[in-house]
Chain A
């Protein structure tokens, strides 16, 4: 896992009702996924605003996934 890009920063904007719960479940199931993923919970993936995604890149994020 460590050679799978753990220095990368990937922001995952997750919907409270599905993707965030799925991420939680992944943790509960002891499933491994790369430490590059930084989860940010949103009340709904539809809350995402283009400027938030752009600011993530401006501040150095390597990737952004929006999950919901």
Chain B
């Protein structure tokens, strides 16, 4: 029982990190129809940037800010500098963002090496708390990660549901042309969403280090998880990303804990089931073409 509770909390912590990555991934696809395969690499690079900044400034929060801002800037560079050269060719965009994965991986390997690195959270966050049931001792940093993810998720929800910009983004997922025909410069909105999405991936890459580590190969793992999340939840759907993150994260931790031999199968069974039963995703819209 204790084991199960711990795994469940682990699952929700991982869900928080995965949600931060996949919410940006799904919004970028939703409004731009760009499947940004570099999203996992951005996650990893954000962590590495933070690692170096923390090494220099000895402050976790400066590292978190640096990883987020640097990845947002990278997003701006890619969206403004690279994608316009390929516009309207989904295949070229896929290949270009995939190519960036190799570039980021090799540069990271050259700078930060191939050994796993770690980021420690400051002060009380690096402690543990004994929970009032079953005597479970659980690291504070994971509660912090979960809490921050929830705060970001709520903020993102408020942005999407309560503001005009959010309405434009949601409308853009429905029908980009029609948004433009209402006098709204959708290109500006696209850029903003792309920057927001990559910044979120960088943010998650820093915040998620205590959960998924900081090592080569994480980028592919995270990208796969994000892809699974948006396939399950529905491409372009915020709520879908939220639901998909919880499903995938729980499947991942339970699979690893209880069926370690077939953990990858456990992870992708929900994916296959959704694809068979509801190919547009649990909360996706069929009309999206």
Do A and B belong to a common assembly? no
A residues at B contact (CB < 8 Å): none
